[in-house]
Amino acid sequence: GIQVEQSPPDLILQEGANSTLRCNFSDSVNNLQWFHQNPWGQLINLFYIPSGTKQNGRLSATTVATERYSLLYISSSQTTDSGVYFCAAAGNTPLVFGKGTRLSVIA
C-alpha cells in the first residue's frame, strides 16, 4: 500500500517565523489531506489537495502529484499554531497517515 513520510518530525519556531512542512508519498493519490491535531486531540481539516495549490489565510499548501510530494506553508506563525500536523494520502484505499510533524511556536 501507499507509504507516507513527513518531515521534519519536530519543529520549534519563534512566533512570527515562517515554516515549511513536507509530505512525501510513494504512489499516485486520489486524496491528500493536511490536518492539524489540536491539544484536545481533534483533527482539524486544513486542506484537501490531491493536486495544485490552495491558500487559506496564513496557511497554504502545494501538491506536486507527478513528483509525489506535498508542502504545507505556515507564515507569521502564532502560538495557537502549535500542535501536530498530519498529512494523509489515499490511492484507492482509505487514508494512510504520516507520523506527523510536531510544531511548537514560542512567544
Q: Which residues bind other proteins (CB under 8 A)?
A: 30-31, 33, 35, 40-43, 45, 48, 86, 88, 90, 92-97, 99-100
- Give 58 or 99: the residue with its C-beta nearer to other proteins: 99
- Give 57 or 94: the residue with its C-beta nearer to other proteins: 94
Q: Rounded to whole angstroms, how far apart are CA atoms 107 and 98? A: 28
Strands 4-7 and 31-37: what pairing? unpaired
- Give 5 or 15: the residue with its C-beta nearer to other proteins: 5
Give min distance, CB of 79 to other proteins, in A: 22
* Separation in Å, CA 40 to CA 36, 37, 43, 99, 104: 11, 8, 9, 18, 15
All three cell numbers of 58: 496564513
- Give 4 or 105: the residue with its C-beta nearer to other proteins: 4
Give min distance, CB of 29 to other proteins, in A: 9
Burial class (CB in 10 A: 0-12, 13-18, 19+), 68: middle
Give min distance, CB of 28 to other proteins, in A: 12
Strands 101-106 and 10-14: what pairing? parallel
Give min distance, CB of 52 to other proteins, in A: 14
